A and B are shown apart, each in its own frame.
Chain A
Amino acid sequence: MILSKTNRISLHKVSNFFRLILPAESQNICRHVHFKYYPDTTSKIKGETKEMNMFQAINNALHLYMEKDETSIMFGEDVEFGGVFRCSMGLKDRFGSRIFNTPLCEQGIAGFGIGAAANDVTAIAEIQFADYIYPAFDQLVNEAAKYRYRSGDQFNCGKLTVRAPCGAVGHGGLYHSQSPEAFFAHAPGLRVVIPRGPIQAKGLLLSSIEVEDPTIFFEPKILYRTASEQVPVEYYKLPLEKAEIVREGTDITLIAWGTQVHVLLEVADMAKEKLGVSCEVIDLRSILPWDIETICKSVVKTGRAVVSHEAPLTQGFGAEIAATIQEECFLNLEAPVARVTGWDTPFPYIHEKHYLPDKYRCFFAVEDTIKY
């Protein structure tokens, strides 16, 4: 990674600035990590690899993309010095005016990105926290999502990608922990993508930037530092709209995305050990459009399904998945589809560990579904 002089000086100070939000440097000293990280060791991408955590993998993807595409620009609040999560480190020094800070105005960031993308500029916007994407909701849902449709494909803003850190981080409270994917999954025309670790983040981000549709790329912020893997150094892409079976199994299908995939992998271990149950764990990866085929084929095979996400239950994306499974796999189902999610409350600060669908809550859902 390329670090600018100013970045080297500022790193320590700025890390203090966000010490309350950022997980610490290593997993051991990170407060309240509620899951065990399962590194991706089965990646099929060939070539040289390097150990990277998720923010480094994202930074690497941005460097590679901006080098490749001279029309690309990257902007957002405080991105010039590297961004509060370091994802844009070194970009300013290397690409100069193509990287720039914006005012604290998410609606403006999204609107500017749409305009740039519509004029054939590859626009990569950063919203500092997914919790603060709501001022941009109108631009994204009313403008970005409809741009191609309303002009009968005369115009589009497919070159827009909006990155935003999402999800629980152990101590983020109401405004630094939310997972707003379901809001955007209700807007036809948008793509919503969430990676589960560094290898996925790099490949999915490059696909998201390249794809000719406006894409919202949510990055589970607890993974920026807690997740480390051998990431291929080359430019590579991973397929959008394709879920990945991260562990094959025969008795029950467990579906999640982002951090929650790791919770379910641990649940699969617990279910094997305590119940002798074989779980198939699927990472949805792309929330919209989503891979109905992989999910339903798995449920036809297993006859049981549990969907889990951090966002609240009511109108969470789990509801869409459960309804579709019910439609497509009704005669194969041995039990109702279970949803294990955050409660229908704002994301609580003190009660985070009781709010999150932890491994025990998910395990009980597996047990109940198996014994139904």
Chain B
Amino acid sequence: MTYSSSVSEAERSDDSSVGHHSTSDDSTIYRDDAEIEKYQQLDPIRSLKSYLKQHKLWDESQNELFIKATNKKIMEAIKVAENDSLPGQDDIFNNVYSAIPFHISKQQVGLQKYFKRRNQLVNGK
């Protein structure tokens, strides 16, 4: 199990920044509660928070505002992503390098030829 630092609704309510591997993972099934609790205590985000609070660099109200603002940002980003169209077929070769090198552009041409040829074979056009 990996402890992720994502902050879900449930985790926030008990002031813990760690969670299970994914939303469908319930690690209490295969881990002792004591072991989970032990590692929650070692959570570096929790430690950093208490360190900052100790040095009066951070407090609960700041924390709450920060979490609220961050959640809002994430929700907005998800909305943008969900409404965006899927990348086009040629996008597969973009962003491997800052610019597409020759050997990859050859493969790009190969993929386009393949689409045409498959269309011909499958649909006869």
Please list the residues of chain A having a beta carbon within 8 angstroms of any beta carbon in chain B: 6, 9-10, 13-14, 16-17, 19-20, 78, 80-81, 104, 313-314, 343-346, 348, 350-351, 354-355, 360-361, 363-364
A217 to chain B, nearest CB (A): 24
The answer on a CB contact under 8 Å between A345 and B103 is no
CB-nearest residue of chain B relative to A313? Answer: B107
**Known contacts A6-B30, A104-B2, A361-B114; A345/B96 CB under 8 A:** yes
Name the A residues within 8 Å of B104 (CB-CB). 343-345
Name the B residues within 8 Å of A355 (CB-CB). 92
Name the A residues within 8 Å of B26 (CB-CB). 13, 17
The answer on a CB contact under 8 Å between B96 and A348 is no
CB-nearest residue of chain A relative to B108? Answer: A343
> B72 at interface (Cβ–Cβ under 8 A)?
no
The answer on a CB contact under 8 Å between A348 and B29 is no
- CA–CA, A132 and B64, complex, Å: 36
Q: Pick from B24, B86, B93, B111: contact of A17, CB below 8 A.
A: B24
- CA–CA, A104 and B103, complex, Å: 37
The answer on a CB contact under 8 Å between A16 and B25 is yes
Name the B residues within 8 Å of A361 (CB-CB). 114, 118
> B117 at interface (Cβ–Cβ under 8 A)?
yes
Name the B residues within 8 Å of A81 (CB-CB). 29-30
> B21 at interface (Cβ–Cβ under 8 A)?
yes
The answer on a CB contact under 8 Å between B118 and A360 is yes
Give B22-44 as 1s and 0s: 1 = Cβ < 8 Å from A's Cβ atoms. 10111001100000000000000
The answer on a CB contact under 8 Å between A354 and B92 is yes
Can you sample 15 A-B contacts with CB below 8 Å? A13-B26, A14-B30, A17-B21, A17-B25, A78-B1, A314-B103, A343-B104, A343-B111, A344-B103, A345-B96, A348-B92, A360-B114, A360-B121, A363-B121, A364-B114
Name the B residues within 8 Å of A16 (CB-CB). 24-25
- CA–CA, A20 and B23, complex, Å: 11
A273 to chain B, nearest CB (A): 12
CB-nearest residue of chain A relative to B1? Answer: A78
- CA–CA, A337 and B21, complex, Å: 45
Give B6-33 as 1s and 0s: 1 = Cβ < 8 Å from A's Cβ atoms. 0000000000000001101110011000
A244 to chain B, nearest CB (A): 29
Name the A residues within 8 Å of B89 (CB-CB). 351, 354
Name the B residues within 8 Å of A363 (CB-CB). 121
A168 to chain B, nearest CB (A): 14
The answer on a CB contact under 8 Å between B107 and A343 is yes
> B124 at interface (Cβ–Cβ under 8 A)?
no
Q: Pick from A20, A351, A360: contact of B91, CB below 8 A.
A: A351
A59 to chain B, nearest CB (A): 17
CB-nearest residue of chain A relative to B115? Answer: A354
- CA–CA, A363 and B114, complex, Å: 11
Name the B residues within 8 Å of A14 (CB-CB). 25, 29-30
